[in-house]
Structure 1
Amino acid sequence: MTDQRGAALLRGGISSPRATFLELFFDLVFVFALTRVSQRLIDDVSAHGPDLLRELAETVLLFLALWMVWSLTAWVTSRYEPESSAIQFVVVASMFASLVMAVAMPRAFAERAVTFAVAYLAVQVGRPLLLTLALRRHPRRSVTARILLWSAVAAVPWLVGALVPVTRPVLWTLALALDYAGLALGWPLPGLGSARAAGWAVMGEHLAERYQQFFLIALGETILVTGLTFSGGDFSSTQAAAFTVSFVTTALLWRIYFHRAGHVLAEALRASERPGLLGESASWTHLVIVAGVLLTGVGYELVIAHPWGRTAPSWTIFVLGGPALFLAARARFEYEIFGRVSRSRVAGVLLLVALVPVGLRLPPTVVLVLAAVVLAAIAAGDGLRARGRPLEQPASPL
């Protein structure tokens, strides 16, 4: 009886592969959360202080903590029945904790450190604890128990770092490294080995849709930042030009992502004999893709607010580095789906990097235009190669 009650939590053959309305509701928190990440990055760059690199590293750490919460929640709803009351409670509780993390983020390394850490640990420790109890004696309970033990160990530096400010950067870096090491290694335990996500049974189509939705959330955040910056500015012709180029760049990111590989991700996962392996790899890839989009969005705000003059060296990280990071991750994504990489994406990354010294001598709007031209050339090349050809079928080497 206990095994049957635990098995009721697992996805069955009649489960819909589509994301539920509750999951889409959950994603709304991350629209706000990603704006907090962007605002922190903008504040870091605008300060121009000697601690710029440290502050940027802190923002990256907070973003990685948010991604950990979102990605593991996506895996939970791909492995367990999202319509069950226990899983719905997990999603709603994770949603509230994520909102608290986002609210605390601007001052997470200052007076809101305890709030941020406790909210994060409420998900990281509370979620596997609840699932372990709900699964009862079901064999899958061993996986959630592993995650619980690793999260409990990582909770120590999270809490100590929150309470002792001088140790916070080092201990939080260690804690997050433990969380990501557990995820990458499969939360190994002595004598029991590991349980890597690559070997999990998941609803592949559902997982693909969740990655695509989070990518769209990141694009939506750039639209939000672009609109807010332009509407709050002088509404000048130069700002209007930067605003227009920013929108075009966002549309190009969308086009490049969904061309072929992004379009057939669900099919690739559905056809895979080991969807967990492809899903795990795609998770890391989408982390970098989203990071590239966020950096690009920060570049939009910097350019719209200061469309003319000289481009500051740190701005190139966002205006040129963001699209370059996106293209590099998109090239890996293409390899995951088709086992090849288009030369145009590699050339695009190299060209964007090569434009950095040139961009330092040009106005920010012109630098943004150059980045958009590179992306437009890649999108046009994709379209020309695909014209008249049937949709390519996935052939993942994974």
Structure 2
Amino acid sequence: MTTVPLARTGHHRSEVGPVELFFDLVYVFAIIQLSHLLIDHLSWTGAAQTAIVFAAVWWGWNYTAWAMNWLDPGKTPVQLLSGVLMLAALGMAITIPSAFGDGVWLFIGCYLFMGILRPVFMMVAYRGQRLSANYRMLLLWTLMAGAFWIAGAALSEEWRLLLWLIAVLVDYAAPLAHYRIPGVGAAPMHTWDTDANHLAERNRLVFIIALGESVLLMGGAVVEQGQLTGALALSLLVGFASLFVLWWNYFALAGPDTSGGDSSTGALRSAYAYAHAFMVLGAILVAVSIELRLTHDHLTPASILITTAGPLVYLVGNILFLRSRFGSLARSRFIAMGALILITIGALLLGGRLPVLVLSVAVLAVTATLAARTARRRLA
């Protein structure tokens, strides 16, 4: 087999290189921007726009992480590629607040530039190899989705949301369809030789970034209040406990343990490309809900829904992850989701009569109980 000069080799293949960590710094800013986009547009339309923008931001990070699964981060051309992709990701992050407004062309321009540059680079780096043919099919699907991204940008905002939703569905359906185009070819999952340990570490790191956003929002919200009162300190304590329990559920108890489990590329695709999208989005929603509860004295329907949506969305991803890697039904997660739905209904019925702290403690009780139950099972 022909040697690929830029490929990862040897026993260091699974290591995350410094240039990968450097690339992730942009996503600290991107997640902050996503959080503020939702905070500034607390409506169903704002939530839909945030979800679409998050889907694009996540897919840009996800495909870059997968490309680095095969590229040696110590090689100069790979480092230059990462730098260019990082600049494009920064352009996307800057325009997140105006992605549905004046910044539309820069947002999709940077996204599509990343989507085209990555596969072209991989096709050249792995020319003559199966991976090059795979990336050719990936590029064709990216171009198909790109037509909807561009059409959405060209038309009015009323059409933009619908067309960009179609673009997201095309992008996310590509791996599920094995990048198949009738009469042209396909790239089945078993032809992608992936490293489970590297992908797990990359996704752990980006989840830490999402959790870090909660710390930034909590600290900023407290500073803006000017004085740390007893009530604010109690709310901060509950918010931090909620964040810590989420970390515990992910890393200490239900995180991506790569020892054992299904390491086929199809399973890794579900566990990291899709399941982690839900878990990272859940962490972002938790950050937004903490900020809202620290800065508002009463509950609104929007703040109630975001408070329970964070752990709900995270648990959807957690269930998908455990199902993909270990074939577990994770019944305890379904029970926790049911409890959160009941809390949501009760809080909406009570409306503004329910104290903010009571809702926070109720949600914390569910997630903490789940963590404690899983801890007992692991110690048994």
Global fold match (TM > 0.5): yes
CA distance in structure 2 between the partners assigned to 1:81 and 1:300 by the alignment: 39
CA distance in structure 2 between the partners assigned to 1:62 and 1:198 by the alignment: 30
Amino acid at match of 1:373: A
Are residue 297 (structure 1) and residue 287 (structure 2) matched?
Answer: yes
Instruction: Please give the per-residue CA displacement for 1:303-361, whole angstroms capped at 9, x wherever unaligned.
Output: 0001x33x211212211121122223223323334332343322111111101132232
Q: Post-superposition shift, 1:246?
A: 0.8
Q: Post-superposition shift, 1:152?
A: 2.1
**Within-5 A mapping of 1:95-244:** 95-166=86-157, 167-197=159-189, 199-234=191-226, 235-244=228-237
Amino acid at match of 1:282: A
CA distance in structure 2 between the partners assigned to 1:155 and 1:385 by the alignment: 47
Q: Which moved more, 1:368-377 or 1:189-198?
A: 189-198
Is the CA contact (8 Å cut-off) linking 2:271 and 2:321 kept in structure 1?
A: yes
Q: Which moved more, 1:242-251 or 1:156-165?
A: 156-165
CA distance in structure 1 between the partners assigned to 2:224 and 2:129 by the alignment: 55
Q: How many residues align?
A: 373
Is the CA contact (8 Å cut-off) linking 1:198 and 1:278 kept in structure 2?
A: no
**Within-5 A mapping of 1:1-398:** 4=2, 7-45=4-42, 52-166=43-157, 167-197=159-189, 199-234=191-226, 235-262=228-255, 264=257, 266-268=258-260, 272=262, 274-283=263-272, 284-306=274-296, 308-309=297-298, 311-360=299-348, 361=350, 362-387=354-379, 389=380
Q: Which runs of 5+ in 1 are unaligned?
A: 46-51, 390-398
Is the CA contact (8 Å cut-off) linking 1:198 and 1:275 kept in structure 2?
A: yes
Amino acid at match of 1:82: P
Instruction: Please give the per-residue CA displacement for 1:162-193, whole angstroms capped at 9, x wherever unaligned.
Output: 23334422322222222122232122122354
CA distance in structure 1 between the partners assigned to 2:249 and 2:276 by the alignment: 14
Q: Post-superposition shift, 1:113?
A: 0.4
Is the CA contact (8 Å cut-off) linking 1:302 and 1:315 kept in structure 2?
A: yes
Q: Post-superposition shift, 1:81?
A: 2.3
Partner of 2:14, secondary structure, is coil
Partner of 2:225, secondary structure, is coil
Amino acid at match of 2:292: L
Amino acid at match of 1:139: R
CA distance in structure 2 between the partners assigned to 1:27 and 1:193 by the alignment: 33
Q: Post-superposition shift, 1:242?
A: 1.4
Q: Which moved more, 1:71-80 or 1:274-283?
A: 274-283
Instruction: Please give the per-residue CA displacement for 1:35-91, whole angstroms capped at 9, x wherever unaligned.
Output: 11111111111xxxxxx2222111110000001011111111112322223322222
Partner of 2:12, secondary structure, is coil
Is the CA contact (8 Å cut-off) linking 2:67 and 2:118 kept in structure 1?
A: no
Partner of 1:267, secondary structure, is coil
Instruction: Please give the per-residue CA displacement for 1:183-220, whole angstroms capped at 9, x wherever unaligned.
Output: 32122122354214454101221111111111111111
Q: Structure 2 length normalisation: TM-score?
A: 0.92
Distance 1:201-1:32 versus aligned 2 partners, 3 A rule: same
